Amino acid sequence: MHLPPPPERSFASDNAAGAHPAVLEAVSRANHGHALAYGDDRWTRECEAAFRDLFGDVATLLTFNGTGANVLALSTLLGPVDAVVCVDGAHIAADEAGASERILGAKLIDLPAPDGKLRPEQIEDVAARLLGPEHHAQPAVVSITQSTELGTVYTADEVAAICDTAHRLGMTVHVDGARIANATAALGGSESVLRSFTVDAGVDVLTFGGTKNGLLGGEAVVFLDPARARRAPYLRKQVTQLASKMRFVAAQFLALLADGLWLQLAEHSNAMAGRLHAATAGLAGVELGGPPQVNSLFPVLEPALATAVQEWSFFWPWDPGRSQFRWMTAWDTTEADVEGFAAGVGAAATAPGAAAVAST
């Protein structure tokens, strides 16, 4: 089977992308001279101010990575015997090696969600079954992901309905925003849109992702109610997320948040996913759903086709039982990358011996 040269950039994950040049330049500038450790520096103070400009009166703590950020955020909301309500595909439930359960000792109540989105009625049902009796871990936190692990996006009204339900039941709401920039871009692409489904909707604590959107490495935990951050600095140290040379994490975020770069990169990433969908729709052996909302596609591929293309340009399986995979674009994906990848998939699909499965 003869396939064209693989694209320069991977479609395995936006985690595979490098750092944006502006981020690298910001780190290099921050590297001159000395600065006090653990966030007692001008970059961190400026970064905290930048998040206040974005959200209003908030408190922000920087962390190394997404798992640590989620553990820190949840640690500030949970008490003894408290539990977290989430969907079964949530990153905290499926992809963090049980970090919240082991480190925080918190039970996760993970619920089915075919489209990746939690519904208020599911929260109501959990509360009716578990709240009160001393035999049950008490549901205390609702955690949702924006955009979801399945590439879907909660509207502002949907988030507000979840927050209203949770708060009425005495629960708080955490948002895992590892790809919050992509969700913001999908919903209209402005700072007011971001606020509409976070602070305005009633979210209590937010993990604001940077690593998947052009940073070398760094996430931010944003306390939309600053009072909830009172003990957070101590908890950040305890869960090993306090950076000594924090200026380098802060400098990255300052570059990302300047002049709307965080949104520009997400808009581009989303647009490249749409382009990839259009370029591969109709190929034999490729079943696609509707156009992607954000920067991920979940094609069902004829097995022989999947094997051939994976060996040529690797991407991850998603649901092996269905022969479903995930293709992701990133801030640095080019139109040439998309065209090259689509050409490879097309060549594999039409190669002698390839199964011809009608796409839908």
DSSP 309-329: HHHHS--EEEEGGGTEEEEE-
Q: What percent of the chain has pLDDT over 90?
A: 96
Angle between helix 120-130 and helix 156-168 axes, rounded to 10 deg: 20
Each residue's pLDDT tens digit, 205-239: 999 999 999 999 999 999 999 999 999 999 999 99
Predicted model pTM: 0.95
- Does residue 356 carry a pLDDT above 60? no
pLDDT confidence of residue 358: 34
- For residue range 270-313, list pLDDT tens digits in order: 999 999 999 999 999 999 999 999 999 999 999 999 999 999 99
Which residues are 326's β-sheet partners? 316
Tokens 């951050």 correspond to 229
pLDDT at 124: 98
pLDDT digits (tens, 9 = 90+) for 253-265: 999 999 999 999 9
- CATH 3.40.640.10: which residues of the chain? 21-260
pLDDT at 351: 76
Give 130's Cβ-side CA count (13 Å radius). Answer: 21
21-260 CATH, one of 2.40.50.140, 3.30.300.30, 3.40.640.10, 3.90.340.10? 3.40.640.10
Angle between helices 261-280 and 335-350 (to 10 degrees): 20
Q: What is the rounded average pLDDT for all residues in the chain?
A: 96
Cβ contact 4:344 at 8 Å: yes
CATH fold of 262-350, please?
Aspartate Aminotransferase, domain 1 (3.90.1150)
Q: How far is it, in rounded angstroms, from Cα 7 to Cα 341?
A: 6
The b/e string for 204-213 (b: 16+ C-beta within 10 A; e otherwise) is bbbbbbbbbb
The pLDDT score that the predictor gives to residue 353 is: 57
pLDDT computed for residue 280 by the predictor: 97
- Looking at residue 2, what is its pLDDT? 81
Query: What was the pLDDT predicted at 70?
Result: 98
pLDDT at site 133? 95
pLDDT in tens, 311-326: 999 999 999 999 999 9
Q: Quick one: which of 84, 88, 37, 46 has its CA closest to 205?
A: 84
Residue 151, pLDDT score: 98
Which residue ranges does the chain devote to CATH 3.90.1150.10?
A: 262-350
Mean pLDDT throughout 8-29? 97
How far apart CA 272 and CA 112 sit, in angstroms, is 30
